[in-house]
Structure 1
Amino acid sequence: MIVTGAGSGTGRATARLFAAHDVRVALADINGNGPGQPPRALRRRSAAVTAVGNLSDQEVVDRAVTTAVWVSLAVVNQE
């Protein structure tokens, strides 16, 4: 699952909720630094990496989806 806006507000709360229920999430946010950055604890718990960039840019969307797929495949192969 890809959670957009994961750096703050509703997006962060949504990512935390899914992670708390052991859902593997890929975190996406336009702001990769500072207060908008998804917390490290969430990134560790969700076992996903963060896609940083403006999701109105198709290259960023492609990177986020590719990342989410690879993370999912890696998790499946480890189980």
Structure 2
Amino acid sequence: MANPYDYPMISQGEITVKSIDDVEEFIATDTAIDILGFSADEKISIYKLTGAVMHHGAMKFKQKQREEQAEPDGNEGKITF
């Protein structure tokens, strides 16, 4: 999923802001993670966790008949880490 509108958790407001350079902001964030002393494995884990949260927010569920549980509503966009 490359379209930010596929992720409800991050697309509730403005997706593109003219005064913000996303690449520059990503580099600043990545550098800050290094300055804070995280290892390369920890940094990758941070990015994986962020991706997992975004995917979780895009999941759709349906209620099982006569039960209080829900189940995934299809497996579109299934992702594996």
* TM-score band w.r.t. shorter chain: 0.3 to 0.5
TM-score for both structures, normalised by structure 2: 0.32
Judging by fraction of residues, say which structure has more helix.
1
Judging by fraction of residues, say which structure has more strand.
1
**Which is greater in Rg?**
2
TM-score for both structures, normalised by structure 1: 0.33
